[in-house]
Amino acid sequence: MMRALEGRVAFVTGCGSQGPGWGNGKAIAVTFARHGAVIYGVDLNADAAEETRRIVESEGGRFIAGTGDVTDKARVDALVADCVVRLGRIDVLVNNVGHSVPGDPATMPEEIWDRQIDVNLKSAFLCCKAVLPLMEAQGKGAVVSIASTAAIRYTGKPQAGYAAAKAGLVQFSRVVAIDYARRGVRLNCVLPGLMETPLVEKLAQDFASSETGLDRGAFYRRRHEQVPMGRMGEAWDVAEAALFLASDAAKYITGTEILVDGGLCAAVRG
C-alpha cells in the first residue's frame, strides 16, 4: 500500500525534543518518515536534531539534520537552499517551533514580548517566505503550522504574548492560503491543546519546586482533569493530524485548522 508521503521532501522545523521523550516536532518528523517522506529536519539544538535523525535512519528512513535559529532570515534562507541542493525540492513545510512565557502586558518585559512574536510567528513567516516560491514553481505544496488552542480560547493561563502570536499564525495561514489557493499550495494549522511532552515535564518539575507546595503529580492531575476526555494528548496525536493535512487525503482542505485537544475548546466558552 502506498504510504501517504511517499517520495516527498518535508522541511520540518523544531524537529527535536526539549528532553527525553517525544515532542511534537520529533513525532512529526518520525511519522512523516514512516509514511515515505525524506526529512530535512531543523532544530536550534544540534543534539536534538541528531537524535531524531538516528531514530528515522534506524527505521530505514532518510533524514538530513540542519541546525539554526529560524527567526534569523539569513539562516532560514541558507537552510532552505541547502535542502534544495541536497534533495531537489520541498513538498511539505512544517512550522513547528514555539515557546510560551506567561505574563500580561503590565508585567511582561518588552524583550520577552518581542521574542514570543519572533519564535511563534515570525519564524513561520520567514520559512514561508523562503519556501512558498519553490512550491509555487512546482505547482504543488503543503504548509502545516503548529499553533495552539491558545490562539482561539483563553484556557486558564495568562500568556498574552504566546496567545497573540499563535492567533497571528492562524490568521496568517488563512490569508496566505487564499492567496495561494490557485497556485497549488495549501496552508493549514494544527491546534494542540494540553499535550504530554518533554516540555510539560519540565513545567511539572518547575511547578513542584515553586512556592505552591504542590508536587509533580498534582500538576499532572490538574492538567488531565481540565480535558473532557480526562487525559492530556500525546505528540503522536499532533503528528497524525499534521500527516493528514500534509497528505493528498487533505487535497481539498486549505485555510483552516484542526483542533487536537480532547474536547477542551468545546468545553470552554469564548
Q: pLDDT tens digit string along 10-41? A: 999 999 998 889 999 999 999 999 999 999 99
Task: Give the chain's mean pLDDT.
Answer: 93
Q: Is the pLDDT of residue 257 over 90?
A: yes
Reported as a single tens digit per residue, the pLDDT across 102-161 is 899 999 999 999 999 999 999 999 999 999 999 999 999 999 999 999 999 987 778 999
pLDDT of the residue at 249 = 97
pTM (2 decimals)? 0.94
Is residue 229 assigned to a domain? no
Is residue 207 assigned to a domain? no
Q: Which H or E run contains 189?
A: strand 185-192
> Which three cell numbers, joined as nine digits, stand for 195?
499535550
H helix runs in 155-197, sequence order: 160-180
pLDDT of the residue at 162 = 95
pLDDT of the residue at 18 = 82
| C-alpha to C-alpha distance for 238 and 103, rounded to whole angstroms | 26
180 is catalytic: no
Is residue 216 assigned to a domain? no
Measured in degrees and rounded to the nearest 5, phi and psi for residue 190 equal -110, 130
Q: Is the pLDDT of residue 247 over 90?
A: yes
Going by pLDDT thresholds of 50, 70 and 90, the confidence category of residue 197 is confident
| C-alpha to C-alpha distance for 222 and 231, rounded to whole angstroms | 10
The catalytic residue among 40, 154, 162, 220 is 162
Going by pLDDT thresholds of 50, 70 and 90, the confidence category of residue 213 is low
Structural domain that includes position 179: 9-195+235-267
Is residue 85 assigned to a domain? yes
Q: Residue 11's beta-bridge partner residues?
A: 40, 93
| C-alpha to C-alpha distance for 49 and 53, rounded to whole angstroms | 6
pLDDT of the residue at 132 = 98
Is residue 63 assigned to a domain? yes
Q: Is the pLDDT of residue 226 over 80?
A: yes
Could you tell me which of 41, 40, 51 has the C-alpha nearest to residue 18?
A: 51
Q: Could you tell me which residue, 187 or 20, shows the higher pLDDT?
A: 187
Is residue 61 assigned to a domain? yes
Is residue 72 assigned to a domain? yes
The CATH number given to whatever domain includes residue 29 is 3.40.50.720
pLDDT of the residue at 209 = 62
Is residue 4 assigned to a domain? no
- % of the chain beyond a pLDDT of 70: 94
Going by pLDDT thresholds of 50, 70 and 90, the confidence category of residue 207 is low
**Number of independent structural domains in the chain:** 1
